[in-house]
């Protein structure tokens, strides 16, 4: 595994790996993660990987931000149909792996659902450089370039995470 010794996803859902991405409003970072992860799964032609996203402080039904939609369109993925979801017991229990954007998101999830401690990680833990313990800054309200930079920061750890999950699904 990419994270030596600490990354042991649960496969409670059987042959399918369910990954949940969590940020604050579920309109910027986590929808971009979900969209890109879906694209990677589609390109790998694997139905064994599913993903969803949620927010720790949001309202159900909010659309993805205009700049998140733009950046994902530029990267070949359409997230125009995305609507925000409040982090819920159902989403958390269905997830085999929960990926948060910041340590404060991880803390918020664990305060509500302490039983998920073993399946929660920061996205940047999957980086290959020294920024593994950092959070992904919120681009909310920023220019398209702020969103592009945010997405570029998330791409490498998302690819590394995807390869880990893909390898795991092939060995189970």
Active site residues: 23, 29, 138
Three-state SS at 164: helix
Query: What one-character DSSP code corresponds to residue 129?
Result: S
Of 128, 83, 120, the closest CA to residue 6 belongs to 120
Q: What is the residue-wise DSSP string for 59-107?
A: -TTPBPPHHHHHHHHHTT---TT-B--B--HHHHHH-SEEEESSHHHHH
- DSSP 8-state symbol, 56: S
| Order of strands, sheet of 17-23, starting from the edge strand that comes earlier in the sequence | 49-55, 17-23, 97-100, 120-122
Give φ, ψ of 95 to 5 degrees.
-80, 135
């Amino acid at each position: 595994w990419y994270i030596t010794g600490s990354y042991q996803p649960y496969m409670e859902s059987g042959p399918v790996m369910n990954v949940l991405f969590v940020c604050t409003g579920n309109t910027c970072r986590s929808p971009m993660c979900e969209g890109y992860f879906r694209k990677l799964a589609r390109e790998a032609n694997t139905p064994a990987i599913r993903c969803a996203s949620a927010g720790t402080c949001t309202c159900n039904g909010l659309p993805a931000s205009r700049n998140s939609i733009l950046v994902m369109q530029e990267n070949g993925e359409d997230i125009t149909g995305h609507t925000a979801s409040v982090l819920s017991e159902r989403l958390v229990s269905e997830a085999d792996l929960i990926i948060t954007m910041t340590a404060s998101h991880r803390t918020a999830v664990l305060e509500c659902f302490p039983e998920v401690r073993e399946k929660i990680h920061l996205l940047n833990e999957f980086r290959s450089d020294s920024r593994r313990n950092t959070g992904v800054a919120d681009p909310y309200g920023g220019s398209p370039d702020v969103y592009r930079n945010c997405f570029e920061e998330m791409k490498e750890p998302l690819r590394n995470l995807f390869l880990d999950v893909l390898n795991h699904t092939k060995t189970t």
